[in-house]
């Protein structure tokens, strides 16, 4: 760790300790969208779908304009919750529906750290870091309260995936009618109403919007049926519903008296697919161009973060882990090293970071139907994607491959990726769930449901 990085981390920790001793330890709410296109939010220039709540969040807070995630959802979620790159956590690819694998169980999560610091921790929405074995589920990974689904691609109304039930409260099966985006916001309100104001809380709210299947209430979809676009009307409607849900969460914080002392973070897990695109940014979900990796990220905390600001510093989802732990006055002491950097001085003062690189992807060979990934690394202003090289500062839209102009840089970055391969930790085996499909995701829940069904018969 360089001296500048050490001093910045120490200063941030001291500032937070002073704040905590003065009784201002923040509540923390992190909202996550799923597959959101860069072009849709009004704060990014979107004009088709109204997004007053997200726009207000951006106006009242600070927007990071070079915030990076992973190319698909589960690796981003693991990065956020551990502060470590996916090649260390066993989550370089997504657990699929018929899959017993999950995030490596020795990883310490943000929920673990905040629970240790006296926070009440809850998750509302999509988990997607293991959907079968109990050891992988949220309440074994530091969360004291759980609501939502373990897997991905659930039907927004039936809450099933491929006919398998996937809706749970506190890791128990939950039969509930309603549109999942709205239900998630309603559950946040329900729990806030019961929250002890003397105890800080961490609410992680990963919506499944605007991921497929593309569904929304017909009264919202009908507004967009006349528009000729690469987007489906249902996708526009999903985004409007997401914005409504974000507004409901913010209104709940206000209604229950938590708005002023709650640090709110909103970000997206990866860019939209290439069919609808991400504006001028090249590529989309599943590849390693900017359209897949660069996403909106907003921080809002009244009286602590100046409003209506944009900061253009390269940052990554791994940075949220040390930033939020320090903001909470929690401990960063742990056995596994942290890749992320504390962003507090960047967020509050627009300062740069003592960082040379961002690791997007190591080389991954194809396995079965799973595709191969090209090693992708950003070093300073340059980004290597396989054999291609781009100067992101000069060419953020990756229109010109400059690999032939900088062969020495290409060689050095490839050598760095090769060295990082030696640090990779093996993932769990992606073995199928026995006797698939189950009645419900979650091995224990499924077993208990089957016992009840057997007794009835």
Instruction: Give average pLDDT by consecutive 10-residue segment, the chain, 457 residues.
Output: 48 48 77 98 97 98 97 97 98 95 98 98 98 98 98 98 97 97 98 95 98 98 97 98 98 97 98 96 97 98 96 97 98 97 95 94 69 88 97 98 98 96 95 97 97 85
Partners of 294 in the β-ladder: 68
Global confidence as pTM: 0.94
Give the integer Cα–Cα distance in Å for 457 and 145: 33
Give the pLDDT score at 457. Answer: 76
Give the pLDDT score at 156. Answer: 98
Give the pLDDT score at 366. Answer: 53
Three-class HEC string of the chain = CCHHHHHHHHHHHHHHHHHHHCCCCCEEEEEEECCCCCCCCHHHCCCCCCCHHHHHHHHHCEEEEEEECCCCHHHHHHHHHHCCCHHHHCCCCCCCCCCCCCCCCCCCCHHHHHHHCCCEEEEEEECCCCCCCHHHCHHHCCCCEEEEECCCCCCCCCCEECCEECCEECCEECCCCCCHHHHHHHHHHHHHHHCCCCCCEEEEEECCCCCCCCCCCHHHHHHHCCCCCCCCHHHHHHHHHHHHHHHHHHHHHHHCCCCCCEEEEEEECCCCCCCCCECCECCCCCCCCHHHHEEEEEEECCCCCCCCEEECCCEEHHHHHHHHHHHCCCCCCCCCCCCCCCCHHHHHHCCCCCCCEEEEECCECCECCECCECCEEEECCEEEECCEEEECCCCCCCCCCCHHHCHHHHHHHHHHHHHHHCCCCCCCCCCCCCCCCCCECCHHHHHHHHHHHHHHC
**Residue matched to tokens 């202003």:** 381
Give the pLDDT score at 20. Answer: 44
Give the pLDDT score at 368. Answer: 54
Partners of 388 in the β-ladder: 385
Give the integer Cα–Cα distance in Å for 364 and 427: 12
Give the pLDDT score at 16. Answer: 47
């Amino acid at each position: 760790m360089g001296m500048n990085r050490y001093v910045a981390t120490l200063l941030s920790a001291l500032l937070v300790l002073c704040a905590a001793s003065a009784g201002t330890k923040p509540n923390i709410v992190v909202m996550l969208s799923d597959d959101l296109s860069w072009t849709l939010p009004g704060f990014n220039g979107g004009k088709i779908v109204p997004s007053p709540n997200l726009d207000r969040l951006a106006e009242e807070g600070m927007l990071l304009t070079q915030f990076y995630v992973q190319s698909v959802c589960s690796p981003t979620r693991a990065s956020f919750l551990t502060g470590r790159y996916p090649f260390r956590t066993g989550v370089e690819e997504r657990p699929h529906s018929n899959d017993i694998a999950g995030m490596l169980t020795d990883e310490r999560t943000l929920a673990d750290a905040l629970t240790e610091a006296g926070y009440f921790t809850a998750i509302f929405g999509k988990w997607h870091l293991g959907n079968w074995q109990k050891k992988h589920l949220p309440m074994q990974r530091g969360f004291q309260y759980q609501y939502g689904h373990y897997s991905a691609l659930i039907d927004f109304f039936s809450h099933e995936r491929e006919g398998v039930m996937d809706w749970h409260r506190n890791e128990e099966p939950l039969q509930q009618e309603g549109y999942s985006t709205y239900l998630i916001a309603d559950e946040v309100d329900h729990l806030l109403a019961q929250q002890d104001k003397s105890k800080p809380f961490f609410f992680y709210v990963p919506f499944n919007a605007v991921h497929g299947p593309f569904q929304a209430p017909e009264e919202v979809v009908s507004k967009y049926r006349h528009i000729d676009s690469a987007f489906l009307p249902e996708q526009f409607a999903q985004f409007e519903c997401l914005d409504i849900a974000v507004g409901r969460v913010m209104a709940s914080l206000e209604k229950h008296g938590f708005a002023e002392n709650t640090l709110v973070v909103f970000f997206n897990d990866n860019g939209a697919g290439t069919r609808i695109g991400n504006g001028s940014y090249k590529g989309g979900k599943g590849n390693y161009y900017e359209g897949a990796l660069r996403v909106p990220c907003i921080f809002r905390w009244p009286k602590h973060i100046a409003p209506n600001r944009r900061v253009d510093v390269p940052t990554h989802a791994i940075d949220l882990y040390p930033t939020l732990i320090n903001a909470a006055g929690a401990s960063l002491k742990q056995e596994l090293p942290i890749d992320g950097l504390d962003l507090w001085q960047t967020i509050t003062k627009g300062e740069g970071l003592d960082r040379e690189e961002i690791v997007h992807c190591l080389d991954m060979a194809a396995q079965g139907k799973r595709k191969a990934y090209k090693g992708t690394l950003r070093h300073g202003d340059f980004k290597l994607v396989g054999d291609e090289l781009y100067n992101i500062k000069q060419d953020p839209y990756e229109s010109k491959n400059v690999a032939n102009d900088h062969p020495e840089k290409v060689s050095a970055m490839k050598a760095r990726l090769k060295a990082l391969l030696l640090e990779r930790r093996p993932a769990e085996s992606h073995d199928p769930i026995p006797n698939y499909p189950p009645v419900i995701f979650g091995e224990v829940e499924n077993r208990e449901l089957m016992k009840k069904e057997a007794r009835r018969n």
